[in-house]
Amino acid sequence: MVDKEVVLTPQGLKKIEDELEMLKTVKRREVAEKIKQAISFGDLSENSEYDEAKNEQAQVEERINKLENMLRKAVVIDEKNIKTDVVNVGAIVQVKDLEFDETIEYTIVGSTEADPYELKISNESPVGSALIGSKIGDIVEVQIPDGVTKYEVLKITR
């Protein structure tokens, strides 16, 4: 199986690197201290604190491994290379929802960085994939659970 590349903006890369650093330097130490303290309670066979600390350690190590794998496969979008004539990953796109007559501004990011609450949508999402390749003035149709919605591309920036 071919590993899929992880598309990131420079901000997304920094966020992953910061989380990884925190997990390796701070969180690992905290969990090791919890394990040490739980061992001091004695009998490990019925020591819920020890079991809980070991589970937390496994979760931290799993997250570290996942972040390291992401970084190995990372392809960072150079903001200077983001074109403003066509929608692509890294672009900020202002669209008009033709059904509700409202204007929305999305940032198109890789799936790792997607955060709908911050209006960062994945290039793999229905809206993101429909917008990729469109130009100012294009009407884009997006298949959603309720049917089809239409967006008009108003502006593309970086």
Q: Which residues of 91-128 are buried (b: 16+ CB within 10 A; e: fewer)?
A: bbbbbbeeeeeeeeebbbbbebbbeeeeebbbbebebb
Instruction: For residues 158 and 155, give the distance between their C-alpha atoms in angstroms, rounded to a whole number.
Output: 10
Q: Residue holding tokens 């990011």?
A: 109
CA angle, residues 18, 19, 23, in degrees to nearest 5: 120
Q: If one looks up domain 6-76 in CATH, what number appears?
A: 1.10.287.180
List the structure tokens of 96: 């008009």
Q: Is 82 helix (H, G, I), strand (E, B) or coil?
A: coil
Report whether pLDDT(77) > 60.
yes
Report whether pLDDT(32) > 90.
yes
Report whether pLDDT(7) > 80.
yes
Name the CATH topology of 79-157.
Chitinase A; domain 3 (3.10.50)
pLDDT digits (tens, 9 = 90+) for 50-70: 889 999 999 999 999 999 999
Task: State pTM to two decimals.
Answer: 0.74
What is the length of the chain? Answer: 158
Average pLDDT of the chain, as a whole number: 90
Instruction: For residues 62 and 85, give the distance between their C-alpha atoms in angstroms, rounded to a whole number.
Output: 41
- Going from the C-alpha of 86 to that of each of 22, 77, 81, 82, 93, the distances in angstroms are 37, 15, 12, 9, 10
Average pLDDT on 35-50 reads: 83
One-letter amino acid identity for 103?
A: T
Instruction: For residues 92 and 118, give the distance between their C-alpha atoms in angstroms, rounded to a whole number.
Output: 12
List the structure tokens of 29: 């130490």
- Closest alpha carbon to 121 in 105, 137, 134, 136: 105
1 confidence band (pLDDT: 50, 70, 90): very low
The answer to which of 16-25, 76-85, 145-154 has the lowest mean pLDDT is 76-85
**What residue ranges do the domains of the chain occupy?**
6-76, 79-157
Average pLDDT on 121-135 reads: 93
pLDDT digits (tens, 9 = 90+) for 81-125: 777 889 988 899 999 999 899 999 999 998 889 998 999 999 999
| Residues of the chain above pLDDT 90, percent | 64
